Structure formats: C-alpha cells, structure tokens
Chain A
C-alpha cells in the first residue's frame, strides 16, 4: 500500500496555534507505529476556529479533524486516523463542512488543498491554465478579458483593473513594471497572507499575465515584514516556477520574459498606499506622492507601472482560464465576481469566506461567523480596516457590495470584518483611530500629521467631560478638514471610524459628562 497522505497546514496562523507541534507528533506517531505516512504541509482552509486542522486522504475524499493539539495525536492514531476512524475531533469530509460548502471559492480554490510549493500539484489543479491561454492572446485581448470580467481592485479603492492595465499598455516605454501590493496592513485582514502562503504560484501566474498584457518584463511583490512565512513561500515558489519554465527569460518557449522578485517592507502602514509603496521600493522614505502623474504613467523609477493588490492579481488567472463571463456572472450590481471576506475579532467562527458580492453583513457575521466568541450580543462591526466605518446592528442588512456600503458612508475596503461585543467602548475605538493615524502618518500634509494628534486630544477631552458641546463641534470640524484637505486616504478616511462611532454610539462619548450632571 502506498503512503497515506496527511495534511497539516504550515500557514502562519495555524502554526501560531500549534500546527508545528502537531506535525511533529504526526511524524513521530507514524514512525513509532511503523505506518507509511506522507505528511503534506498545505495552506489553511481558512476555518481558523478549527485550526490546527488535520486532514487525511481516504479514497478520493479528504476527512478533517480539528482543532487538533499535539497531545491529541496519539489518540487520533488509536482511533484509526489513516482510515478516517471516528474520534471526538472528527469533522467528516472537509468539503462537506457547512462553512466551506456554502462558499464560492474561485481565487481560493486551491488554498489548503494543494502543496503550495509543488508546481506539479499546482498544474494538476488547473494552475497555469490562465497563463497558457494568455500566451495565445494579443495583449489587448488579455486586457479586454480583464475589463469585461468587471474585476475591481481588491486593495481598497475598487478601481477597475482592466482600465488600469489599459492605461499602462497604451503608454510607450522601454521598461514597465508590475508591482504587487502585499502590504496588507489593515487590521482584520489576512486573505493576502493566506493566498501567498497557501497558493503562491497563483500570484506569480497573475503577475506574469499582467506582464504579458501591458508589456512589462519585471515584477516586484512588496511584502510587509510581518509576513516572514509568506516571504519564504513566495521565494520558493518563484524559484520553482522559474526552474519549470513558467517565469524567466523564455516563458514556456514563447520567447516572452517575466522576472519576479520579493521586496520586504519595513513596518510602515502608509507604504500600503500605492505611491508611498513605490517610493519605498525605490529605497526612499515612504512618503505619499502628489498625483498626477499616475503610477500607470510614471510609476516605479518614473516608468509606467501596474500596481495591484494580491487578491486582484490572484483573480486574474481564473478570468483568463474560464473567461470574463464566467467570473462576471458572480456578484451584484457593479461589484462583480467574488470577494474573499475575512471574519475577525470577537467572532465564534473566524476565518476566510469567499463569496460572490451581495450577501448581507449580518449573514456573514451570524450565518458564517456564528456571532461572538464571547457569547455576548454583537454591538458593532468595523468593515474595511482601520479607516473603515463602524456599523451598528441596524445596518447589518447592508449587502456586501461596494456601492451599497458607500451609500451608508462605509466601505468594503479589503474585505475585513472585525466584530465587537457589547463590552466595547466606542469612544476608545474612536480615539484609537486617531492615534493610529498619528502613529502612521507619513507627515507630508498637515491635516493628517497635526489633525490626527489634535483629534485624539479632543476625544480625550470629550470623554473626560470637558466642554463637551464645544469640543464635539471642534472634532466634527476637524474631521471635515481632514476629509477634504488630506493628500491621501490615511488622513482623508481616518475620520470615518470616528464619525461613525459618534453617530451610532453617541452615549459612549458622553458618559463622563452625564455622570457629572
């Protein structure tokens, strides 16, 4: 009998809750019992409350066990893990777990399924099919496919990806670049990380396709320094893809070139903003540039540059493989395709939920997430990262779609949802929003650099009950100034969490003044 395949994720968060010790225990236990086990270190399925999630391949099915700790492993083997034996941790076939089964995994189809560093495994699961099709198309036809798919940037601003690519394609230059924004600084988001760790070849494929589409032969992945596991996975994947002829000087014998390199950021949230990122890649302080010129015209080293988020580039291979129409049939209104949403914070079933746009925030939080981890009532959720609004329960009927969120002065951003229970102090969260903005401001413009510090002080005074009415009015004016006069969205959007907290949870700001009265 051949070796039985056992999967234990090497995903950074699975490791942070004990997956390495589980993998060691599986190896040791198999050796002790003389059993032939092939241990595969996959990415995470994104069912994080079940991590470390161990899977075993039995026949043509994968059976799941979780959450497993190292001390459970001996009893798992006693129960007949390798034949899918019954055990208190048994979850049945992985694909039948409701949370996973009710998703639409397009971009994340392979994450948690394959060995992330195996080109053969990637290809066996339709990897590089999009690149092969792109090699047969005119550059303009590739761009058209992406435009017709309706794909909009997943990094936050939701700009149509095809239009961005067309601008770069139409700009003459001797050298152009593809830059992947892998700075993923928003609290509550981890989809980029999961994808880079669990299916790094997909990102390489998406970037190579972008290169063919616009005539760029060099790409950089700007990766935040908090993600060392992703850095190792990407470097290994790039080396493997290059050795197999999918990257490099002669992609699959086509005579086309694409070289890819990972660059590590240095702990600056603002370097997720695209022009600041480009400055940083050039070796400078990560200060925001004035626009115009657009990066598409004058980007990295002054040359035309496509800059896209990991998830935008990760959606591209499937669009090329299955066609624009296939992708655009998912979604709602002007939000086409799927979004990998991320459930985080005080949530019972935290993890990754890839769904077509259109389900409501409440469905995501309650049906998928199961409500709070603390079993207390949900009070609010912050959607779209530290610059996103706090939504009250009354707005949980909002469909997850760019325009529906904008209509409620909120944003989807990168798809992160952070849930809070009824013990949250919203004045403290508002204060934190200003503090974070002050901490991460690049310093180029005063509304942000000075305004954020001032905003934090004002909130502290209001909470302390000092001149509440006047300070509230000043805070609102300050927010208006930051929104209208900041150079970029850090200063320009940091007021949104503050204003939403003030609007929906005013009592939290007024406790001290009321107590005094």
Chain B
C-alpha cells in the first residue's frame, strides 16, 4: 500500500521525536516508522542519519541487515508461512505446495489480484500445534489445506 509524502514525513518525524534520544535508538526508530507506514521509505535514511549523527551507509546497512525491515510498500495482505523444522514435520512443505497451486504467484511471490504476498518465516513458537502461519499479523496454527482455504476465502469475502 502506498502512502502520501506528507504522511511519510509525519511518521518519520514522529518516530525520531519519540525515540532518537534513547540509547541504541535505531531499531526502535525503524520499527516505529514501519509500524506506522508498513515499510521504511527511502527518505527515512537521510533524516535518521542526520538526526543520529550516522552516515547514510550506516543506516542503510542496518535496514538491509534485518529480515523484518522492508524498503518498499507491501501488499495489502501478507501470508507468512513457517518453514522451520517442527512445521516441516507436520507437512509444511505439502501445505506450501497446495497454497502455491491455489494462488497466482509471480516471481516475487505476489498474487497481484488478491493483493497478497507469500513470505517464508522461521518459527512462531507455535511448534506444538504445527503447521503455523501468520496472516496479516494474526497467528494461525494446526493448519491444513482446508483451513488455509477458509482463511483465504475470508480475505476474498472482505475485499
């Protein structure tokens, strides 16, 4: 989802005002921006670097190191399917294959029509009720193809 320039500017300013004086402020700042906008827009880098007295390369290096931070707008829906061992032990790979058959994913694992992106994840601490996935921030466990289809159906019904 794209966000307007003034909205972006406001979110960045607010994140800096709230966190810049804390020790080790960079991750809290990046999280605050991403929580507000869904991603970390490129212009954040300059503003953060100036405020924290870091080089642009430093800030960029941090953003790119962590899997959580995204520098581009995300799809409206994000499905994060756990690929780690406990979920594999309960048929995670077959579940993923079924999902890929149902969705129309492009090379970036995006289904443009559904405005959904599929992402790998590595453990949600749901391993006693595997397999698990997170859809738009909400965790679901004991998944099977029927339950995943139900969840996707609910998305379609609401859009």
| A residues neighboring B (CB under 8 Å) | 12-13, 15-17, 48-49, 51, 184-190, 192-193, 225-228, 263-269, 280-287, 301, 342-347, 350-352, 373, 382, 386, 416, 418-421, 424, 429, 432, 436, 439-440
Q: Could you say which of B4-12, B71-79, B96-104, B117-125 contacts chain A?
A: B117-125
Could you list 28 A-B pairs, sorted by A, with CB under 8 Å? A13-B125, A16-B129, A16-B138, A16-B139, A48-B129, A185-B122, A187-B84, A187-B127, A188-B85, A188-B123, A190-B126, A225-B31, A226-B123, A226-B124, A263-B24, A264-B31, A266-B66, A281-B27, A283-B25, A301-B23, A345-B86, A345-B89, A382-B85, A386-B84, A418-B85, A424-B89, A432-B88, A436-B122
* Across-interface contacts of A373 in B (CB, < 8 A): 90
Question: When each residue 113-143 of chain B gets 1 if its CB lies under 8 Å from chain A and 0 otherwise, what string results?
Answer: 0000000011111111110101001111110
- Of chain A, the residue at the smallest CB distance from B127 is A344
CB distance from B117 to the nearest CB of A (A): 15
The answer on a CB contact under 8 Å between B61 and A16 is no
| B residues neighboring A (CB under 8 Å) | 23-28, 30-31, 52, 61-62, 65-69, 84-90, 121-130, 132, 134, 137-142
* Across-interface contacts of A301 in B (CB, < 8 A): 23-24
- Of chain B, the residue at the smallest CB distance from A224 is B125
- Of chain B, the residue at the smallest CB distance from A344 is B127
The answer on a CB contact under 8 Å between A17 and B141 is yes
* Across-interface contacts of A281 in B (CB, < 8 A): 24, 27
The answer on a CB contact under 8 Å between B129 and A51 is yes
The A/B interface has a contact count, at CB < 8 Å, of 149
* Additional 10 contacts, C-beta under 8 A, given A282-B24, A283-B26: A225-B31, A225-B68, A226-B125, A263-B24, A264-B27, A264-B28, A266-B31, A266-B66, A342-B127, A350-B129
- Of chain A, the residue at the smallest CB distance from B142 is A17
The answer on a CB contact under 8 Å between B122 and A17 is no
The answer on a CB contact under 8 Å between B139 and A286 is no
* Across-interface contacts of B30 in A (CB, < 8 A): 266
The answer on a CB contact under 8 Å between B65 and A12 is no
The answer on a CB contact under 8 Å between A17 and B137 is no
The answer on a CB contact under 8 Å between A344 and B128 is yes
Task: Given the known inter-chain contacts A386-B84, A418-B86, please indicate yes or no for A345 contacting B125, CB distance below 8 A.
Answer: no
The answer on a CB contact under 8 Å between A345 and B85 is yes
CB distance from B46 to the nearest CB of A (A): 17
The answer on a CB contact under 8 Å between A16 and B85 is no
CB distance from B100 to the nearest CB of A (A): 17
- Of chain A, the residue at the smallest CB distance from B29 is A283
* Across-interface contacts of B122 in A (CB, < 8 A): 185, 187, 269, 436, 439-440
The answer on a CB contact under 8 Å between A226 and B121 is yes
* Across-interface contacts of A265 in B (CB, < 8 A): 27, 68
Compute how far the CA of A188 lies from the CA of B61 in the bound complex, rounded to whole angstroms.
31
* Across-interface contacts of A226 in B (CB, < 8 A): 121, 123-125, 134
Task: Given the known inter-chain contacts A263-B27, A266-B66, please indicate yes or no for A346 contacting B89, CB distance below 8 A.
Answer: yes
CB distance from A144 to the nearest CB of B (A): 32
* Across-interface contacts of B23 in A (CB, < 8 A): 282, 301
The answer on a CB contact under 8 Å between A420 and B89 is yes
Residue among B66, B84, B85 facing the most chain A CB atoms (10 A cut-off): B85
The answer on a CB contact under 8 Å between B128 and A186 is no
Residue among A263, A266, A342, A346 facing the most chain B CB atoms (10 A cut-off): A266
CB distance from A93 to the nearest CB of B (A): 22
CB distance from B30 to the nearest CB of A (A): 7
The answer on a CB contact under 8 Å between A16 and B140 is yes
Q: Which 3 A-B pairs have the closest CB atoms?
A: A350-B128, A283-B26, A345-B89
The answer on a CB contact under 8 Å between A268 and B65 is yes
The answer on a CB contact under 8 Å between B27 and A12 is no
Task: Given the known inter-chain contacts A301-B23, A418-B89, please indicate yes or no for A185 contacting B123, CB distance below 8 A.
Answer: yes
The answer on a CB contact under 8 Å between B127 and A416 is yes
Compute how far the CA of A372 lies from the CA of B21 in the bound complex, rounded to whole angstroms.
52
